[in-house]
């Protein structure tokens, strides 16, 4: 009995073509841009509602895969998407919702 199989030898892992690696990097960059794009939309809505408002994006390193809007007093959270989703679109607020939350928070002060 003669076996001509590959018994006892390891197969080398297939090397991904550059094209596939580039697509993976683009997808990762796209994910990061979703957060940035939504942050810009919320920022413009807040500035439209209150032009004198100062909006700072990520004063500290943000929590991974989260989207939160907090007043700079550090205590008042206008919106958090940490416990929302999947799908991922639930993690981001409608800009109008954030403006309404801002008005409520400023009334309370």
* pLDDT band at residue 90 under the 50/70/90 scheme: confident
pLDDT per residue as tens digits for the range 45-54: 989 998 888 8
Cα gap 93→109, rounded to integer Å? 23
Question: Which percentage of the chain shows pLDDT scores above 90?
Answer: 6
- pLDDT tens for residues 7-46? 566 656 555 555 555 555 555 555 567 888 888 999 999 8
Whether 105 and 76 have beta carbons less than 8 Å apart is answered as yes
| pLDDT confidence tier of residue 65, bands split at 50, 70 and 90 | confident
DSSP symbols for 5-45: S-TT-PPPPPPPPHHHHHHHHHHHHHHHHHHHHHHHHHHHH
> Quick one: pLDDT at residue 68?
86
pTM: 0.63
């Amino acid at each position: 009995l003669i076996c001509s199989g590959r018994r006892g030898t390891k197969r080398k892992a297939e090397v991904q073509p550059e094209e596939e690696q580039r697509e993976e990097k683009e997808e990762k960059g796209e994910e990061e841009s979703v957060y940035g794009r939504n942050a810009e939309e919320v920022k413009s809505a807040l500035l439209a509602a209150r032009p004198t408002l100062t909006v700072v994006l990520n004063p500290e390193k943000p929590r991974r895969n989260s989207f939160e809007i907090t007043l700079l007093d550090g205590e008042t959270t206008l919106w958090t998407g940490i416990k929302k989703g999947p799908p991922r679109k639930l993690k981001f607020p409608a800009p109008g919702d954030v403006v309404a939350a801002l008005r409520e928070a400023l009334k309370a002060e």
